[in-house]
Structures are given as C-alpha cells and as structure tokens.
Chain A
Amino acid sequence: MTTEKHYYLKHVIEPLLDSLYPYITRIYFNYGQLSRLIEIVKSKYRGKEIINYFAIKREEAKEKKFVIQRITLSGDGAEKDLIAEATRRRIWMEKLGFQVKDEIGFTLLDCLVTSKGLARLIFGSFTDFYENVIRSFIQICNNIDVGFKKIKREIKGEDVELHPFKITYPIPFDQEHFKKLTSQLTNNYMLSVIHGGNPYYVADLLDHEEGSSFGLTVLGREITISPMYRTTNASLWKLTEIIQTVLGEGSVPIEVK
C-alpha cells in the first residue's frame, strides 16, 4: 500500500516486486477475471449506480501485419462489448476503472484496477475500497491459486495421471506469434523447442529463477501447460502471464467464484 505517485510506482515499486520473484509473485488477471471482479463489486453495491470502463489493447491485422490498437469500452454494455471483442480478436486487458454513485448521483468510490494486480483508489473511503474491492480481488486470486494447485502429476497405482492447464483462444495463431513467444520465453526460461510452431509448437521450459519445469504445447487454438519435474503456483502465475502477454488473453478453465 502506498500513497506515492504513478511514476514512483512504475519505476521503483513494480521493478522491486518483479525482482523479488519467486518469493513474491506478481499476479495477472485476464479479461475474464477482471469481468468477474466487476460483477462481484456490482453485487456488493446493489442498488447503487456503477459506471465502469475497460481499457484494452487489441490486435488488428492490416496488410499482413499485426497492429496494436488501444481502445476504451464504456457504458452500460461494456462487459458484453468486452466479451465480443475477446471472441473476435486477440486482446489484452490494461485496466478496469469504475465509479460507484449513490441515489442522488454523488460519487462514493472511484478506483482503477490493472491486470498486473495494482488497485488504485482515486476517490472515496479506503475502508469501503478495501472491503469491497481489495477483498474481492484477493478472493479471485485465491480461487486461481486453488485452481493452480490442481495442475500436477498424480500417481494412481501403476499409472501416472497428468492434470494440465489449458488456455483456449477464439482465433488461431500466426507464425509471427510463435516467434514472439519463443523470444519472450527465452528471456525467462531455459528452453528446448521440439517443434517451432508450423503451427504445432512443443517446448520444454525450465524456470531460471525458480527451478520449475513445464511441457508447453500449442495445437490449433489451445495452449497446454503440462507439469514436469517441479511445478509451483508462483511459476504458473509467471508462465500464464508471459503467455497471455505475448499471445493475448484466452479463456482459462479455472472457475472464479
């Protein structure tokens, strides 16, 4: 918690938190999880007016090249627009902003939540913010953490059962995406690419800093992360963040209550 300005947050606090991996892990909320957050907040402020907006990046194909555009989805149907965008294109959630107003239109709460887990109170009571927003945020994190714990190898008698993690996308990948993925993974992992994405992608990954290892496959519109010799929740948060940062946000099978 800090009262510092955005610059200090971006250039001091965030790099510090990043450097503390694996002891401290940054979370990553995709569009589905942030939509769920606004649903929970709305249920907590039943009867009040909530104006929310989503700032997203979306990929546009122009003359055989991919261009990233920034747009804001706001108004009554923002959530529906967001889902529609996510099913049509590759998108990245940047932030969710919302204002809670009372019956006479007086603003009770004004805050921002980013996909990287930063929650900012612009106006309103901190207690309300903590109780209704931060706690909901933590609840979603816990749900994802519980889901990640199920990603493991299990020995059942003489058989080994593998419980992988899958991210599904509405649109297929291009060669360009695989190049970016390999480059980004090489920065963070010791990599062994078996098939480089034509369009089948298979690689083994070893987390430099944490020692966890995974098998990664991309086939069609589905990414599969299979646990290998060691898998921790911290390393799964990191890997899902990297994949979704490069390839866009997909739908994950973890149910967020």
Chain B
Amino acid sequence: MSPLKSNESITLRKCKEDYIKYADTVAVSSVIRKFIIDHQNVGKYEGEELTIITMNGRKITPDISCSYNSRKNALFFELKWSISPNTIKDELLDLKKYLEAKFSWEKKGTQNEHVDLVLVIHIDDANTVMSAIDGLCNMPENDFLNCEGFSVWGWSLSLPKLRNGTLVDEMRFNCLRGKTQNAEINKHISAPGGILISQDVLTHLRQIYRFIKEKPPIQYTMGQLYLLMSSLASDTQPRRTLAISRGLIDVLYERMKIYFPGWAKATPETIQVRKDWIGEAVDKFEEIGMKIIKIPTSRTRKQLQEFFCQKLEKLIKKRLKRRYAFPKTRPIPSGHDRKLTDFGSSMK
C-alpha cells in the first residue's frame, strides 16, 4: 500500500513526499557509514558531521568524512535530501569549500594533500543536478566541478530481486558523474549495478539516527517531536500530559540529541541550529492548535505525516484566505430600501 493517495492536493502530496524522502536520506547516511566501516580498504571512517577547521580558519562540516592514503587524502560525502531548481546552483558552488580545504586531521599533524567529494542525491533529482552542473562547469571559476575528485552518486531503491527464494528490495548507488582519486571506491561504484548495500542497514541500522546535517522539512521535525513528546508525556505522572511550549526546547534537544549524527562532538553553533529547528517546530505546533500532548493520545486513522501535512495545509490556506480576502462592506438593510420618487412624494 502506497502512503501517497491520488486524490490529494499537490501541496499535500509534496509535503508527504518530502517527509518520506528525508527519512530515506537518513537511511542513506547510515548506508554510507556502514559501507566505509565495512570496507576498510576504501579508507578510515573519521566521523559523521565532523567539524573540520581548515588552515585559513574556515569551519567545514561534511556529512561523512573518511581518510585514506595514510590520512593524506580525505574523502567527504555530502548528502542532499531535496533539490530545488532555484537553489541548486548556489548549493553546488558552496561545495567548492570542501574540495579546496587544506587541513590536518590531528592538531599538529601533516596537512592533507587532496580532497575527494561525493555528492549523494536521490536518482529522481539527477536531471536537475546534472543540468545545473552542465550550466556551471563551463565557467573557468567553476572548474572544480570538472576536476578529478568531484563525483555525483545517485541512490535508489531498486526493483525487488529474488534472493534465496524471497523477493528482497535492494538499495543501490550509481555514479552519475566524475570519479574520485580513491581507486577502491571507484572500483566499487563502477561495478555493474553500482554499490549494493547490506540488508541490515535497511532494517535496524537506518533507525540509529533520525536526522542528517541538512534541515529537515518542518513536518518531519514535528513528527519526530510528536513521538518524543508522547514518550515524555507518558513519563509525566500522574496526569500523563505535556504542555507544548518554547520552554521545552532545551529538554527536547537533550532527549533528542543522540538521534543526530556526530552528537557527541557537536559544536555550540550546530547545537543552536538544531535547537532552532526544534523551536520552529514547537511554534508550528502552537499555530496548528496543538498545545498539549496527552497519553492516551486521541485516536486517528491518519498517518503521522498525513496528519501534520493536512494541518499545515489548512494553516497555509487560512493565511492565504486572510491575505487575499476582500475588505468587508456593510450590507444595505433590505427593509429600508426606498425609491427616489418616494422622497419626492413625501415632500408634497
């Protein structure tokens, strides 16, 4: 059964699709982490959302970092859960900072020699990204998009295959453009069918984290907060009720932090950004009229993403209606209508 229905509005459909896309991108980040850890000949897994300070004092935070060639080379993975044609060019140009980065993995270690960057996108976004790259790479200042070291991978859930008599879905990665200087990873990605990942990542390993570095859609943050706040409400004895307010942001972050990759080494700036996401979602709860969470929660047959997307859609419609509403005019009382000739007759 598909979670998406055919008779719903485009906004609602897009809202639900974004929710699912983000959840899947979180799984993709687990896939890459597991792949690097399992294939040590590719490189050494350095961490997820690791903040690296470059020689010129700039902070960069790739989604997944690993090193190879005795830590002289770096291999970064950058994940994008959603690509907008309006912002893709800026997002691509922003990747330059990774490829140009000069840094050391240790405080007084030797400087890196080379950086590889793999941009990981959903296969559905391939056309948008490829045409944006084609448009940009002709300019000499954007030469980094053509250099060896920059690569674009697309991920997809392929058609189920028969394995030991059972149909099993498979997640695959394919190279869409470029290659890295890491010969081992090039060998894996250029194999027929690309990289096929192990099944445990699709089951429980995808559940370890719930977020990636990129900001989630608001409905996703609200969904995660709803799950968390329900558990908090359940622990609140004896009323099992939790009032949603901005005062909860710190508590929510503390309980939620282990669901963010790289949580143990998160910088104060990163923590603040994540708290802002939580704050924004808390505000939205208030706007849609959810002020308390009570256990047992009210029953609904709607799915979590559908529930929040419908509420958000209603909110948008209400705002639009208010913005474009005609100014109210006082109606003329009907019982007191008098013809102009009536005035003439009364004057007689």
| A202 touches B (CB below 8 Å) | yes
B263 contacts across to A, CB distance below 8 A = 158
User: A interface, how many residues as a size bin?
Assistant: 35 or more
18 more contacts with CB within 8 A, not counting A191-B303, A192-B305, are A157-B264, A172-B167, A190-B300, A194-B23, A194-B24, A195-B20, A196-B1, A197-B1, A200-B160, A200-B169, A204-B223, A204-B304, A211-B233, A211-B234, A213-B227, A213-B231, A220-B166, A222-B203
B2 within 8 A of partner (CB): yes
B3 at the interface (CB under 8 A from A): yes
Contact A206 B297, CB 8 Å, known A200-B157, A200-B202, A220-B199: yes
- Residues from chain A with a CB closer than 8 A to the CB of B255 are 229
Whether B202 and A193, one on each chain, are in contact in the complex, defined by CB atoms closer than 8 angstroms, is no
- Residues 189-237 (chain A) with a chain B CB within 8 angstroms: 190-200, 202, 204, 206, 208-213, 215, 217, 219-222, 224, 226, 228-230
Task: Of the listed stretches A38-46, A135-143, A178-186, name the one at the interface; the rest are far from the partner chain.
Answer: A178-186
- A71: interface (CB < 8 Å): no
Shortest Cβ-Cβ A-B pairs, 8 listed: A211-B234, A230-B231, A200-B169, A192-B304, A158-B264, A226-B207, A215-B207, A164-B204
Find out whether the CB atom of B296 lies under 8 angstroms from the CB atom of A209: yes
B→A interface (CB under 8 Å): 1-3, 19-20, 23-24, 157, 160, 163, 165-169, 199, 202-209, 223, 226-228, 230-231, 233-235, 240, 255, 258, 263-265, 295-297, 299-301, 303-305, 307
Query: Contacts A178-B1, A186-B301, A196-B1 known; A219 to B199 CB distance under 8 Å?
Result: yes
Contact A217-B1, Cβ < 8 Å, known A200-B157, A229-B255: no
Question: Chain A residue with minimal CB distance to B22?
Answer: A194
**A-B contacts, 11 listed (Cβ < 8 Å):** A164-B204, A172-B167, A194-B24, A199-B168, A202-B202, A211-B240, A211-B297, A213-B227, A215-B207, A226-B207, A229-B228
